[in-house]
């Protein structure tokens, strides 16, 4: 069995990466006692050179050699091809400007658009594997802007990811700790002590939720 873990954060080993690593633990622990051989590929998008969709529409050309696939030959071409038949996918992203960041947006365009049908009652997806997506962000959960964020995330999950693959498990992590030393940065909107408290009390719970996401993805993959 093969799973893909996609990290779109430029900071390896920090919030997004830690949450994804917990999800990996959940997958491994769940499948450890089965007869399945498990391989997990963790991809750091900032290590790769690629673009978003180039609007060539070769993936939708009737009887074309690239129908349902992306023909663009760059660092993610082979990854995308392999993901079409894997057993589970978990995406992780920091939230920039109230949305997933640009690296993940470009990746999702390339991942989903070739299999996104431009016709009703048409399904060209090779395999509908379980998915998860983890968002981590600066805002607090009680921020007045939260409903807007939720609308953006729900639209991505319901309109695109669910239509091509499956409705993803979703984890939203709030009020994340950004800097090792807040005194070095102009950052008067956020209280460092509050951030530290959140890191100590809530982030361990968030990591547990990420672990549970991995467990659920693993269980769904063998149903």
HSE-CB at 135 with a 13 A cutoff on CA atoms is 27
pLDDT at 36: 80
pTM: 0.94
* Domains in the chain: ranges and CATH: 2-221 (3.40.50.360)
Whether 80 and 110 have beta carbons less than 8 Å apart is answered as: yes
Higher per-residue confidence, 120 vs 59: 59
pLDDT tens column, 205-220: 999 999 999 999 999 9
Q: Does pLDDT of 122 surpass 90?
A: no
Q: Give the helix/strand (H/E) hosting 93.
A: strand 88-96
Q: What is the mean pLDDT of the chain?
A: 94
pLDDT tens column, 127-153: 899 999 999 999 999 999 999 999 999
HSE-CB at 41 with a 13 A cutoff on CA atoms is 16
For residues 211 and 99, give the distance between their C-alpha atoms in angstroms, rounded to a whole number: 23
Q: Does pLDDT of 113 surpass 90?
A: yes
Token reading at 88:
């589970």
Burial of 101 (0-12, 13-18, 19+ CB in 10 A): buried
Whether 75 and 37 have beta carbons less than 8 Å apart is answered as: no
Q: Does pLDDT of 3 surpass 90?
A: yes
Average pLDDT rounded to a whole number, residues 159-179 = 94
Give the relative orientation of helices 15-31 and 203-221 as an angle to the nearest 10 degrees.
40
Token reading at 18:
């830690």
DSSP 160: I
DSSP 115: G
pLDDT-derived band at 117 (thresholds 50, 70, 90) equals confident
pLDDT tens column, 31-86: 987 878 999 999 999 999 999 999 999 999 999 999 999 999 999 999 999 999 99
pLDDT at 44: 98
């Amino acid at each position: 069995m093969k799973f893909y873990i996609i990290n779109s954060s430029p900071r390896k080993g920090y919030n997004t990466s830690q949450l994804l690593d917990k999800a990996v633990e959940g997958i491994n622990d769940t499948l450890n006692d089965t007869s399945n051989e498990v391989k997990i590929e963790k991809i750091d998008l900032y290590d790769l050179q690629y673009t978003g969709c180039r609007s060539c529409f070769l993936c939708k050309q009737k009887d074309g050699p690239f129908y349902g696939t992306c023909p663009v030959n760059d660092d993610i071409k082979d990854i995308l091809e392999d993901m079409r038949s894997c057993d589970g996918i978990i995406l992780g992203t920091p939230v920039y400007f109230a949305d997933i960041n640009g690296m993940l947006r470009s990746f999702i365009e390339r991942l989903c658009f070739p299999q996104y049908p431009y016709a009703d009652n048409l399904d060209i997806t090779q395999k509908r594997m379980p998915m998860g997506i983890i968002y981590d962000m600066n805002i607090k959960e009680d921020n007045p802007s939260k409903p807007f964020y939720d609308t953006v995330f729900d639209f991505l999950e319901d309109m695109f990811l669910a239509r091509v693959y499956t409705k993803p498990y979703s984890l939203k992590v709030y009020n994340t700790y950004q800097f090792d030393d807040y005194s070095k940065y102009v950052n008067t909107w956020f209280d460092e002590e509050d951030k530290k408290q959140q890191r100590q009390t809530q982030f361990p719970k968030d990591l547990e939720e990420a672990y549970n996401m991995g467990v659920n993805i693993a269980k769904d993959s063998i149903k």
